[in-house]
Structure 1
């Protein structure tokens, strides 16, 4: 039985390393030897401090020293990208698992580059179509009949949706290439929220939404990429307005969490909610909930992915609670920069 276990460990496609309670390396399989370019004869029974002398082991040593569970953390190692998990072994040490995702990352990069190229190529002609349609609709190229105007208005709206989709795709491409955030500056968070609300006054009045913004007495300035934070709030408010029925309520709130030295933003609606069984997928690219699809509400399924990326790029967190047919509440936190 022991021989079978050892063979399973040795032939396992992921790299496996087992450490004892004193952080000495007890076992390393062939896959881990290949990834780290080390031999078991060189490293067996050595503590983490000694293993740090091997260049390929240094990024892993930092994780092991933290002595905390790690799940699928990406680590770049020369020409490899590894997904690293660290699992405690109940008073017997710890297991380090190395999963090679290099090929997946290459495919993702190629896909991102393709999407970016196509989006860039489409953006210019779509803009030209937009302004040509605008000339017709404004009567600059002659008078239109009501029927002609109706057709052109529908075409203009469809073209606008395509422009928004292209912008979202370009944002996603930048996020995946880690070149999304621009220069950060100190901003008044309350004024930032108010500026976003002002953009939606027309939609708020049309749907007779009772919108409430609960402001704090004071907030420290936030050091952020203000345009990206505006976009995050805009996407959340846009969703709340889109999925809240006529006459519903939306509450926004900004507050200070002194114990964690962070600012909290909340947006709560009385909309259609998110089905419980689909809530784990809400931040996935292109995901749209089944109840949204049934109602035929338009959208790209990219907004919440972009919001999550923006908040996490700033070192914050985003979370939510939702109940179908009752509403959804989103929160995000942003750390206050010190020093």
Structure 2
């Protein structure tokens, strides 16, 4: 028997009851599903909000000053209060926060030391008590073992990422919270601690109750108006779309904030570019004039040059040249990244180019009594931008000379690469070598690594990033094979004919 025939046999009252149950059941199922979706979206929005709070609070901490706080007696110092005040002000602006603190990672990630805690401030403590929140304060600079749950945050923090605990409500001895931690890193990018933010459970419950209340109201409305199908559906759609619109507005605001940050970074880059251009010519003039005066003083036949004058001019000349190198590096890097440097590939005698670079760097090598060994494949011709290649080769060779101890040797090689259709330029030195941490940051801009030049030479921290950018234009690769105490081998591998040529 078909459903239509079965329904046709029912009395009007029974038929009305069947439709009522069907409509009510459908309304209940639909409303329950939509409520659960809304609850999940609200929970996700809370987690994002707490992550943003932790990241913003981390930006208020002076990491260098934070590292100087080591002893309990420093709590009463002005430096400690300077660190604490911005976090207290931040906590006051965000009443949903229950705990805001910083900690230092110790003992191979097995312990942590509490450094700052806003609950130490009387106004924060009083407001928390007014909100009915139980407060538990730990002694500042006390050391605690990391629990297994707490230790899960360390890998993400070491990677420079904000960590939110997997459980929506993180529970420990002080209560239950939505907790996020943002890393505190030194200038070298090393993790020294974190900022923790605990989103109060009452704030979480309040937001979730609003969603549940909306769901309950929807169910009640569906129950009361289930007979009037169109009104039920209209009410459900109105409430559902209103909530979705709220979520979309929140997401749009977050996207707008992200776009504003990107524009700010772009403006900062533009300002840096303008400043670099305005500095370039004056620095070149200072370097040129000081070099000329230095040469004139040293060439006096009557030996009347005053030693102090020569030293001052030598310092001015060296500093101006170093600043010129930095400005030139910034402009080159910017041009390579933004497409401002023209890429003009053509048939290039790579072996001849290597020879030119070695002759240019020979005086610097001779001053340090360095032996240069050449393993050059003669006649190697590739399609490349000769000007950019010269820049890349020179950066590799000059770096090897800077970081090699006097009296050692450097090996320059040019040969076919490991893969078909590519060639390799490599520079091997007998310098101090590089740790795994240094190698991970090797080709980043403005990275000063652990090894230092052995002859007092200057370093801008831009050369290797320029080599990487040049390799990218040629669809090539850069790399380094090294270990502490075993020297380093820097290599550049490019196709004989780039795809864009």
- For these two proteins, the number of residue pairs brought into alignment is 253
Confirm or deny that 1:176 pairs with 2:334.
Answer: no
Distance across 1 between alignment mates of 2:377 and 2:442: 29
Confirm or deny that 1:112 pairs with 2:269.
Answer: yes
Distance across 2 between alignment mates of 1:270 and 1:5: 63
Q: Which stretch shifts more, 101-110 or 254-263?
A: 101-110
Q: How does 1:195-206 map to 2 (within 5 A)?
A: 195-206=356-367
Correspondence for 2:441:
281
RMSD between aligned alpha carbons?
3.1
Gapped runs of 5+ residues in structure 2?
1-32, 49-253
Tell me if the contact between 2:375 and 2:412 (Cα under 8 Å) persists in the aligned partners.
yes
Tell me if the contact between 1:115 and 1:173 (Cα under 8 Å) persists in the aligned partners.
no
- Offset of residue 9 of structure 1: 11
- Offset of residue 180 of structure 1: 2.3
Q: How does 1:71-90 map to 2 (within 5 A)?
A: none
Relative to structure 1, the CA distance from residue 213 to residue 174 in structure 2 (aligned partners, 3 Å threshold; closer, same or farther) is same
Gapped runs of 5+ residues in structure 1?
15-98
SS in 1 for 2:491: strand
Distance across 2 between alignment mates of 1:200 and 1:321: 23
Larger-gyration structure (1/2): 2
Question: What are the Cα deviations for residues 316-335 of structure 1, in whole angstroms up to 9, with x where unaligned?
Answer: 01111111222111111111
- Offset of residue 295 of structure 1: 9.3
Give 1:311's match in structure 2, choosing from 462, 468, 471.
Answer: 471
Correspondence for 1:225:
385
- Offset of residue 138 of structure 1: 3.2
Q: How does 1:155-194 map to 2 (within 5 A)?
A: 155-194=316-355
SS in 1 for 2:296: coil
TM-score where L is the length of structure 1: 0.66
Relative to structure 1, the CA distance from residue 149 to residue 327 in structure 2 (aligned partners, 3 Å threshold; closer, same or farther) is same
Confirm or deny that 1:137 pairs with 2:294.
Answer: yes
Relative to structure 1, the CA distance from residue 135 to residue 239 in structure 2 (aligned partners, 3 Å threshold; closer, same or farther) is closer
More helix by share: 2
More strand by share: 1
Distance across 1 between alignment mates of 2:382 and 2:44: 51
- Offset of residue 288 of structure 1: 1.0
Give 1:7's match in structure 2, choosing from 8, 16, 40.
Answer: 40
Tell me if the contact between 2:384 and 2:497 (Cα under 8 Å) persists in the aligned partners.
no
Q: Which stretch shifts more, 200-209 or 142-151?
A: 142-151
TM-score where L is the length of structure 2: 0.46
Correspondence for 2:371:
210
Question: What are the Cα deviations for residues 20-46 of structure 1, in whole angstroms up to 9, with x where unaligned?
Answer: xxxxxxxxxxxxxxxxxxxxxxxxxxx
Distance across 2 between alignment mates of 1:316 and 1:10: 45
- Offset of residue 154 of structure 1: 1.8
Confirm or deny that 1:292 pairs with 2:452.
Answer: yes
Relative to structure 1, the CA distance from residue 108 to residue 177 in structure 2 (aligned partners, 3 Å threshold; closer, same or farther) is farther
Tell me if the contact between 2:349 and 2:379 (Cα under 8 Å) persists in the aligned partners.
no
Correspondence for 2:63:
none
SS in 2 for 1:182: coil
